[in-house]
Structure 1
Amino acid sequence: MNHEEVKKTAAESIIDADEAKAFGLIDQILKLEDKEWITILCEGFSDGNRLVGETFEKGNISLPELIYCSEVMKNVMDRIIKRVDSIPVETTGKILIATVEGDVHDIGKGIVASALKLAGFEVIDLGREVPVQTIVEAAERCGADIIGSSALLTSTLSEQKKLEMLLRDLGIRQKYKTMVGGAPCTARWAKKIGADAYSEDAIEAVRIAKELLKKK
């Protein structure tokens, strides 16, 4: 299978809520022990998860179907993350990542965190619904190079702005590079609130994080 076939099959397994198909593909790819293939695999699952959400918003699938697909996606990512955590890598930088307060979505963040780990970053994942004060305190405690925040709801975008403001108010903004992401985020939003960068997906997040680390 080539990269596009892997991505297509991964996406289809989420859309069809076919956990057996997804797990079979994961086991097949992990045998290759190639970080690039794992990243491509994660991107495929992410595409499927996004399409399920879009289909639900259009009213073409029911809420129970959405929940079922989401549960498969969660189980799939749990399986991949466990494998990624066991792969030894030489760390090049430290990034703290979290989904902001008021937002329970963390599948996309989990994919980004896995991709960053595979790229050699030490990742401190605080999980979901994390207050900005907690994010800043954790960054100070662990000595992070980059702070990444995810907001999947338009109503929680303001938390990313609040994070930037808190770092400035504390006089420590210059200590960190900041990245934002999530469905309603844009490069324009990142610029507006004063964040250093915006990334649309996991692969772009890795590229941008490496660039930010060089500038730090």
Structure 2
Amino acid sequence: MSKIEDVKVLVETGKSKKVAAAVQEALDAGDKAQDILDAMIASMGVVGDKFSTGEIFVPEMLIAAKAMSKGVDVLKPIMAGDTSNSLGTCIMGTVAGDLHDIGKNLVIMMLESSGFDMVDLGVDVPAEKFVEAVKENDNVVLVACSGLLTTTMPALKEAVQTIKAACPEMKVIVGGAPVTQEYADEIGADGYAPDAGSSAAKAKELIGA
């Protein structure tokens, strides 16, 4: 089995203590950093699919994401100088009144590993703060708003509509347990991801990557 295959298996199975060494071994064996990253992204895609179908649950997904982050840490210094692979900046936050961050953090990890430069606004983010972040950061191509409570659905609507009013061309993606495609359409969002596993593919689709 190739070193890259080793890395893929370790990410899929969430062996975070072994991933960094395996990534380094793959690099030492001559594998390119981008190829290793692509392999880990593919692994997280598999994990995301398993999560979407109910084969695994949030804990397993978090463990795999943590394993991947250990691998990404090894690659970051090597890839830092190469901005050609960046898909652009994505602003992400959990909307006002909502303090959930596990889902948001998973999505950030998925998008970051797919090539987005992520700006994490944290939780309980007022609508205006999303707009400020769009204006303050370079090359913003996407805003991702997360809402995990039914009580914060109006805040999600306000966030999307505030962003759209200030930046009509900006693509906005939404997600969270109570959110549906219908609701996303109703509030004017450009995209909806039912879970972290599907967020990267949807985000890339929205920006035409």
TM-score (structure 2 length as normaliser): 0.68
Match of 1:92 in 2: 87
What CA RMSD, in Å, does the superposition of the two structures yield over aligned residues? Answer: 3.8
Q: How many Å apart are 1:5 and its aligned residue?
A: 6.0
Cα distance change of structure 1 residues 206 and 72 upon mapping to structure 2, 3 Å threshold: closer
Larger CA deviation: 76-85 vs 149-158: 76-85
- Which amino acid in structure 2 is aligned with residue 35 of structure 1? L
Tell me the distance in 2 between the aligned counterparts of 1:192 and 1:104.
24
Helix, strand or coil at the partner of 1:214: coil
Q: How many Å apart are 1:24 and its aligned residue?
A: 3.3
- Which whole-Å deviations, capped at 9, do the CAs of 1:154-200 have from their partners, x for residues lacking one? 222222101123235xx424131100012222211211111000012
Tell me the distance in 2 between the aligned counterparts of 1:30 and 1:153.
41
- Which whole-Å deviations, capped at 9, do the CAs of 1:92-119 have from their partners, x for residues lacking one? 3221111222222222222222222232
Tell me the distance in 1 between the aligned counterparts of 2:66 and 2:10.
18
Match of 1:106 in 2: 101
Identity of aligned residues (%): 28
Cα distance change of structure 1 residues 141 and 76 upon mapping to structure 2, 3 Å threshold: same
Out of 47, 51, 55, the position equivalent to 2:57 is 51
Cα distance change of structure 1 residues 41 and 30 upon mapping to structure 2, 3 Å threshold: farther
1:150 aligns with 2:146: yes
- Which whole-Å deviations, capped at 9, do the CAs of 1:130-160 have from their partners, x for residues lacking one? 2211111111221522110111222222221
Match of 1:37 in 2: 39
Tell me the distance in 1 between the aligned counterparts of 2:117 and 2:92.
11
1:9 aligns with 2:3: no
Helix, strand or coil at the partner of 1:137: helix
Helix, strand or coil at the partner of 2:106: helix
